[in-house]
Amino acid sequence: MMIDENLNYVILANNINKKFLKNFSEYPVINELSFVNLKNKLEFYTSKRIIFNNTFYALRDFEKKEILKLLNKQKIKYINITSDIEEVIDCDYIVVYDDENIALEGKKDDVLREEKILKKLGYGLPFVVDLSTQLTYYNIFSKVYDDMDELVGELWN
Amino acid sequence: MELSNLNGQIIGIISDDFKKEEYFGKLVNEIVTTKPNEAIKMVKLDSNILNINYDDLSIREQNKVILASQLHNKEIILINFSKGMLKKDLEYFKRLFKKISTYNRKIILIDKNADLFINCVDRIYVINNDKVIFDTLDIFDRVLDMYIDPPKIVEFCHKCENLGVRLDHYKELDELLKAIYRIKS
């Protein structure tokens, strides 16, 4: 996989085992950590790229936001390996795996347009994207949102 | 904390008190010992997995194996079962839990992901240092937000209510869409 040093990636994978993680062995991998431990680790992190492996599973949304803000401040780019489709919202580029094979990849907005493929593979769509996509079918929206506050504001404004 | 005394047939628990039992170094057939082929099939795994080492599995597969190992127990306790699962998996397992619970089994889900609880559990408990500090029958209960991020559909309904738009407590996207359509048209 070619990595653009300026992009943040989400790797959506349904079978993240040791063999799969070997594909990313050139970078340090961070597994699940508490918010405090993760924050401490990142504050002293020197590399410009980091790999998360289901790291955000136990974090609250506000904690994830703070971690992403910290990464941005430290100019650290990430590759987030996860099976949780909700985690794609903040990235630039998505690579979707079906077992060991890449099923789909591209810029976030382009991949999220592939509703049928993502649902067929079992990942689904992020809630906000799914809701706003469905609302375009009802002719209530003409665009797809990825921010809930924006969507709610636009819906009831 | 004696979890079996808690009310409910399928229970959701938010807590850091419990540690998941791991099976490193074991083959799957040493973990799933009661009717293994049937159990493995029920959790949507291939029977070839029985001869594979637990360590070599993904978290998603490990969690399915742990469930398979308990499928014939009176009480099933799963810790962070949702980790590594896809949306489609959660839908399938919620249906399976409901089916199992009709055979007078108790299912206890200790989890960090409220998406596992919605449309599934009878009651949610928050346990800290061996004490129940909060419990509710309603996943839309705003007090719950202090302990766990609500499912996105709940968060959406709360945000709409904050703007003065009162939506019923829909738990399915289809129902929510129809309600929005009715209001907007």
The Cα–Cα gap between B157 and B177 comes to 12
| pLDDT > 90? residue A157 | no
- Asked if residue B32 lies in contact with residue B55, where contact means CB atoms within 8 angstroms, the answer is no
- Nearest CA to B138 out of B174, B100, B171, B102 is that of B171
The CATH class for the domain spanning B3-139 reads alpha beta
| pLDDT > 80? residue B87 | yes
Q: Which fold has domain A9-122?
A: Rossmann fold (3.40.50)
If DSSP states are collapsed to H, E and C, what string results for chain B? CCHHHCCCCEEEEECCCCCCCCCCCCEHHHHCCCCHHHHHHHCCCCHHHHHCEHHHCCHHHHHHHHHHHHCCCCEEEEECCCCCCCHHHHHHHHHHHHHHHCCCCEEEEECCCHHHCCCCCCEEEEEECCEEEEEECCCCCHHHHHCCCCCHHHHHHHHHHHCCCCCCCCCCHHHHHHHHHHHHC
What are the sequence ranges of the domains in chain A?
Answer: 9-122, 126-157
Q: How far does chain B reach from its first CA to its final CA, in angstroms?
A: 51
Mapping DSSP to helix (H, G, I), strand (E, B) and coil, where does residue A5 land?
coil
Contacts of A131 in chain B (CB under 8 A): 156, 173, 176-177
Contacts of A155 in chain B (CB under 8 A): 160, 180, 184
What are the sequence ranges of the domains in chain B?
Answer: 3-139, 151-185
Q: Provide the token pair at B159.
A: 């945000």
Predicted pLDDT of residue B34: 96
- Is beta strand B10-14 parallel, antiparallel or unpaired with respect to B75-79? unpaired
pLDDT category, A24, cuts 50, 70, 90? Answer: confident
The Cα–Cα gap between B165 and B177 comes to 14
Helix (H) or strand (E) holding A25: none
Q: Judge whether A98 is closer than 8 Å to chain B, CB to CB.
A: no
- pTM for this entry: 0.95
The Cα–Cα gap between B75 and B10 comes to 10
**Range from A44-48, A75-79, A150-154, B43-47 carrying the lowest mean pLDDT:** A44-48
Predicted pLDDT of residue B71: 96
Q: Judge whether A57 is closer than 8 Å to chain B, CB to CB.
A: yes
The Cα–Cα gap between A3 and A27 comes to 12
Partner residue facing A54 (CB), from B59, B87, B176: B59
**Residue B2 CB partners (closer than 8 Å, separation 6+):** none
Chain-chain contact of A16 with B83 (C-beta, under 8 angstroms): no
Q: What is the pLDDT of residues B35-45, one digit of tens each?
A: 999 999 999 99
Mean of the pLDDT values across residues A65-79? 95
Predicted pLDDT of residue B63: 97
Predicted pLDDT of residue A99: 94
Helix (H) or strand (E) holding A2: none
Contacts of A14 in chain B (CB under 8 A): 58, 60, 86
The residue of chain B with its CA nearest to that of A126 is B152
Mean of the pLDDT values across residues A94-108? 97
Partner residue facing A124 (CB), from B57, B59, B87: B87
The Cα–Cα gap between A142 and B148 comes to 33
| Tally of CB atoms within 10 A around B158 | 15
> What is the distance in angstroms between the Cα of A71 and the nearest Cα belonging to chain B?
22
Residue type, B149: D
Predicted pLDDT of residue A36: 95
Contacts of B56 in chain A (CB under 8 A): 17-19
What's the burial of A69, exposed, middle or buried (CB within 10 Å: 0-12/13-18/19+)? exposed
What's the burial of A48, exposed, middle or buried (CB within 10 Å: 0-12/13-18/19+)? exposed
